[in-house]
Amino acid sequence: MVNTIDCPPWRRTLSVIGWRPLPLPSSLPHWPAKAATQTIPIVFMVGSDPIAAGLVSSINRPTNNVTGIAFRFSSLWAKSLELLRELVPNTSVIAALTNPTNPNAEPQLRDLQTAARSLGLELVSFTASNDQEIDSVFPMLQQRKIGALVIGTDQYLVDHYDQLISLANRYALPTMYPLRRAVEAGGLMSYGANLSDAYQQCGAYVGKILRGAKPSDLPILQPSKYELVINVKTAKTLGLTMPPTADAGRRTGRIAAR
């Protein structure tokens, strides 16, 4: 059974397929699928707070027919900044790039500012929501002598990783991304959930529902595995030295080096 639901302009349609997990972009402010059915089980994967997003009213007892996995990127910012500073120890000023049209942008920046202060770092905010704005950010970063950059969680920015990676490497700016795919495409580093493992968790929930479990009896999960991924070739090109903790982690398999 497939229902096609009209969505806002930035996303033409959303197909809700019964009994299948539906990845939900963190930039989605409302979920038409949830409003469309109270009976078809929905298993989501979301990068924001599912309660704040209106998907569920409780983590332990999800709402009616909806459950899934929440990446909760906000809880990872402090570790992301710490890892970035280890690779670029001489920097005291780090920039954050977010999409101002994403309703999660302001909460992300608040979390990043709190994390930066706890590490004694100054965080400078930049925004971009189109190609031209992305292009214009990097000359400003260079002019202000920003030492490193963190890319916020946002579907538009994910879709433009190639542009961001090209500019970051051209301007020799060490950059932290939230997803591994950026590092696989030539970006410097990422820290976040292991998506393959998260998809397996999601699939396990779908299997339980197919065997008769109710979504409301399945608490919202967080990913069970997180990973730091560093592109060694990019690090060398930028003149960066792998810190001892990264080398130790690579030897034990806790860090994936591309």
Q: Within this chain, do residues 106 and 208 fall inside the same structural domain, yes or no?
A: no
pLDDT bucket at 251, cuts 50 / 70 / 90:
very low
> What pLDDT is attached to residue 49?
72
Q: Within this chain, do residues 249 and 131 fall inside the same structural domain, yes or no?
A: yes
Q: Report the phi/psi class of residue 212: left, alpha or beta, with left for phi > 0 and alpha for psi in -120 to 50.
A: left
Quickly list DSSP for 31-60: -HHHHH-SSS-EEEEESS-TTTTTS-S-SS
Q: Within this chain, do residues 52 and 173 fall inside the same structural domain, yes or no?
A: no
Question: What is the tens place of the pLDDT at every residue in 152-177?
Answer: 988 899 999 999 999 999 999 999 99
User: For the domain that residue 156 is a member of, what is the CATH number?
Assistant: 3.40.50.2300
Q: Within this chain, do residues 115 and 233 fall inside the same structural domain, yes or no?
A: yes
Q: Within this chain, do residues 109 and 236 fall inside the same structural domain, yes or no?
A: yes
> What pLDDT is attached to residue 6?
40
> What pLDDT is attached to residue 15?
38
Q: Within this chain, do residues 147 and 244 fall inside the same structural domain, yes or no?
A: yes
In one-letter notation, the amino acid at residue 2 is V
Is pLDDT at 140 greater than 60 in this prediction? yes
Q: Within this chain, do residues 233 and 207 fall inside the same structural domain, yes or no?
A: no
Q: Within this chain, do residues 37 and 98 fall inside the same structural domain, yes or no?
A: no
**Distance, CA of 9 to CA of 23 (rounded, Å):** 19
Q: Within this chain, do residues 20 and 36 fall inside the same structural domain, yes or no?
A: yes
Q: Around Cβ 148, how many Cβ atoms within 10 Å?
A: 23
Is pLDDT at 147 greater than 60 in this prediction? yes
> What pLDDT is attached to residue 100?
95
> Which range is most confident: 38-47, 61-70, 83-92, 198-207?
83-92
Which is more confident, 243 or 211?
211
Question: What is the tens place of the pLDDT at every residue in 82-125?
Answer: 999 999 999 999 999 999 998 888 988 999 999 999 999 999 99
Question: What is the tens place of the pLDDT at every residue in 6-54?
Answer: 444 333 333 344 444 444 444 444 455 666 667 788 888 776 677 776 7
> What pLDDT is attached to residue 225?
80
Whether the Cβ atoms of residue 243 and residue 217 lie closer than 8 Å to each other: no
In the chain, the number of structural domains is: 2
Domain interval for residue 137? 74-193+226-257
- Which pTM was predicted? 0.76
Is pLDDT at 134 greater than 90 in this prediction? yes
Quickly list DSSP for 132-167: HHHHHHHHHHHHTT--EEEEPP-HHHHHTHHHHHHH
> What pLDDT is attached to residue 32?
59
Helix (H) / strand (E) element for 6: namely strand 2-6
Q: Within this chain, do residues 107 and 177 fall inside the same structural domain, yes or no?
A: yes
> What pLDDT is attached to residue 57?
81
**If you ran DSSP here, which 8-state letter would residue 25 be given?**
-
The share of the chain scoring above pLDDT 90, in percent, equals 45
What does the mean pLDDT of the chain come to? 81
Helix (H/G/I), strand (E/B), else coil: 232: helix
| H helices present in the chain, as ranges | 32-36, 77-87, 105-118, 131-143, 155-159, 161-170, 180-184, 195-210, 232-237, 244-252
Q: Within this chain, do residues 88 and 187 fall inside the same structural domain, yes or no?
A: yes
Q: Within this chain, do residues 50 and 104 fall inside the same structural domain, yes or no?
A: no
Is pLDDT at 76 greater than 70 in this prediction? yes
Give the range among 130-144, 158-172, 213-227 with minimum mean pLDDT.
213-227
